[in-house]
Amino acid sequence: MKVLVVGGAGYIGSHMVNALSKKDCKVVVLDDLSGGHRDAVRNADLVVGSLAERERLDRLLGAHKFDAVMHFASFIEVGRSVRDPAAYYRNNLINTLNLLEAMMANGVRRFVFSSTAAIFGEPESSPIDEQHRKAPINPYGHSKLMVEQILSDYAKAYGLESVCLRYFNAAGADAQAGLGERHDPETHLIPLVLQTAAGRREAISIFGTDYDTPDGTCIRDYVHVMDLCDAHWLALQRLLSGTGSGRYNLGNGLGYSVQQVIDTARAVTSREIAVRHEPRRPGDPARLVADSTLARKELGWHPQRAELERIIADAWAWEQQRPLARLADLAA
Ligand code: UFG
């Protein structure tokens, strides 16, 4: 089987490329390296390029007979999407349309799309299942929901089958494979907490301690990146079997507060982690927890690494390799 992984040099994409190669898939990665890292691409051909280059996309898709495309290449910072929506709609929406059009033109009709819990906006109920009202509160969430809508219309009109996977809080790493989270700038809680434990930051800021939660800090559903890869593999099997399109929320159904994440990181690392209490970050819902019953039922997805200790331990193993990754970036 031959798969095009767009954004395969990024955090989740690079884990997926590695997972596909272990399943004996032939993988081609398309990545502009704006957020990805050349050395994170394992056992795959890397084509450095952007989805903005429609003719180049046609040549790439024309030169290979891809069985499916997986698309991980999007901007993900909620705050930046509010400050610069144009960049978000261009990259997350227009560039995705380019990709879909090139797929249609070249007869590729299976697509796995990285969507997000941000499509739901402020939750009306918890846990959040697929039926929950979709009302994004920032351009990032809107851009992802628009692509989901486009995919439903393309299925009806052109027979493009897609699976949209709505990640809750992706975390963890495959440190044994030398892969982990390498965003720059980093905005996500777990890597920032672990950078503090490693002495690379002075303190971790807690954004808000007055939420309506047991300890006053926000609750999130952290899901291991390798469990997300398992879901992508199952999504691909669903598309190959002709069962049709699907939309799934991916989380463990376990909510952990910011304070619990910090406490668990202290236990896992045996290090001091200094905290700074700061005001709420705009746009953060108090609680985001997934109901993934549908993914379990229809995809047969059973997360194997659901415990927060495991997620943080794996991210910590990666954090200790970070200096090596920095050297690789400098050499690239
Ligand atoms: N947080 C802190 N301090 C920090 C960083 C984060 O207290 O330094 C808090 C946030 O306020 C939030 C929680 O930790 O309550 C998790 O924050 P992250 O930034 O790690 O993740 P988000 O829940 O904001 O965002 C994630 C994805 C987004 C996606 C969103 C969907 O990273 O791409 O889930 O809800 F849009």
Identify the H or E element spanning 170: strand 169-171
Q: Is the predicted pLDDT of residue 100 greater than 80, yes or no?
A: yes
Which residues 6+ apart lie within 8 Å of 330 measured at CB? none
Give me the half-sphere count of Cα atoms (radius 13 Å) on the Cβ side of residue 197. 25
Beta pairing class for 169-171 and 222-224: parallel
Fold of 2-171+223-250: Rossmann fold (3.40.50)
Best residue among 115, 128, 169 to mutate for probing ligand 1's pocket (most ligand atoms within 8 Å of CB) is 169
As a whole number of angstroms, the distance between CA 8 and CA 14 comes to 5
Catalytic positions: 140
SS3 295: helix
Q: Is the predicted pLDDT of residue 326 greater than 90, yes or no?
A: no
Fold of 175-220+253-331: UDP-galactose 4-epimerase; domain 1 (3.90.25)
CA 325 – ligand 1 centroid, Å = 24
The confidence score (pLDDT) of residue 104 equals 97
* Domain residue limits, the chain: 2-171+223-250, 175-220+253-331
What's the mean pLDDT in 301-321?
97
What's the mean pLDDT in 274-288?
94
Q: Is the predicted pLDDT of residue 325 greater than 80, yes or no?
A: no
DSSP H helical ranges for the chain: 11-22, 54-63, 78-83, 85-88, 95-105, 139-158, 189-197, 225-240, 258-269, 293-294, 308-319, 322-331
What's the mean pLDDT in 189-202?
97
User: In the structure, what pLDDT confidence band is assigned to residue 30 with cuts at 50, 70 and 90?
Assistant: very high
Sign of the dihedral through C-alpha 22, 23, 29, 34: negative
CA 156 – ligand 1 centroid, Å = 35
User: In the structure, what pLDDT confidence band is assigned to residue 304 with cuts at 50, 70 and 90?
Assistant: very high
As a whole number of angstroms, the distance between CA 132 and CA 154 comes to 23
CA 189 – ligand 1 centroid, Å = 6
The confidence score (pLDDT) of residue 116 equals 98
CA 48 – ligand 1 centroid, Å = 29
Q: Is the predicted pLDDT of residue 179 greater than 90, yes or no?
A: yes
* Ligand 1 atom with the shortest distance to the CA of 258: 14
The confidence score (pLDDT) of residue 331 equals 79
Q: Which of 142, 122, 139, 120 is nearest to 287 (CA)?
A: 122
SS3 162: strand
What's the mean pLDDT in 100-118?
98
The confidence score (pLDDT) of residue 121 equals 96
Residue nearest to atom 26 of ligand 1 (CA): 169
Q: What tokens does 123 get?
A: 């939750």
SS3 18: helix
Mean pLDDT (the chain, rounded): 96
The confidence score (pLDDT) of residue 230 equals 98
Q: Which of 162, 53, 66, 44 is nearest to 112 (CA)?
A: 162
As a whole number of angstroms, the distance between CA 229 and CA 207 comes to 30
What's the mean pLDDT in 297-308?
98
Residue nearest to atom 6 of ligand 1 (CA): 189
pTM flag (> 0.95)? yes
Which residues 6+ apart lie within 8 Å of 300 measured at CB? 234
Q: Which amino acid type is present at position 129? A: D
The confidence score (pLDDT) of residue 330 equals 79
Q: Is the predicted pLDDT of residue 87 greater than 90, yes or no?
A: yes
The confidence score (pLDDT) of residue 324 equals 77
The confidence score (pLDDT) of residue 329 equals 76
Q: Is the predicted pLDDT of residue 146 greater than 80, yes or no?
A: yes
The confidence score (pLDDT) of residue 328 equals 76
Task: Work out the percent of the chain whose per-residue pLDDT is above 90.
Answer: 94
Q: Is the predicted pLDDT of residue 137 greater than 90, yes or no?
A: yes
SS3 250: strand
What's the mean pLDDT in 300-324?
94
Q: Are 119 and 136 in contact (CB under 8 A)?
A: yes
Q: Is the predicted pLDDT of residue 189 greater than 80, yes or no?
A: yes
Q: Is the predicted pLDDT of residue 224 greater than 90, yes or no?
A: yes
Reported residue count of the chain is 332
As a whole number of angstroms, the distance between CA 36 and CA 180 comes to 11
Q: Is the predicted pLDDT of residue 49 greater than 80, yes or no?
A: yes
**Which residues, judged by CB distance below 6 Å to any ligand atom, belong to the binding site of ligand 1?**
76, 78, 116-118, 140, 169, 187-189, 192, 204-207, 218, 220, 258, 281, 284, 288
The confidence score (pLDDT) of residue 124 equals 96
The confidence score (pLDDT) of residue 161 equals 98
User: In the structure, what pLDDT confidence band is assigned to residue 138 with cuts at 50, 70 and 90?
Assistant: very high
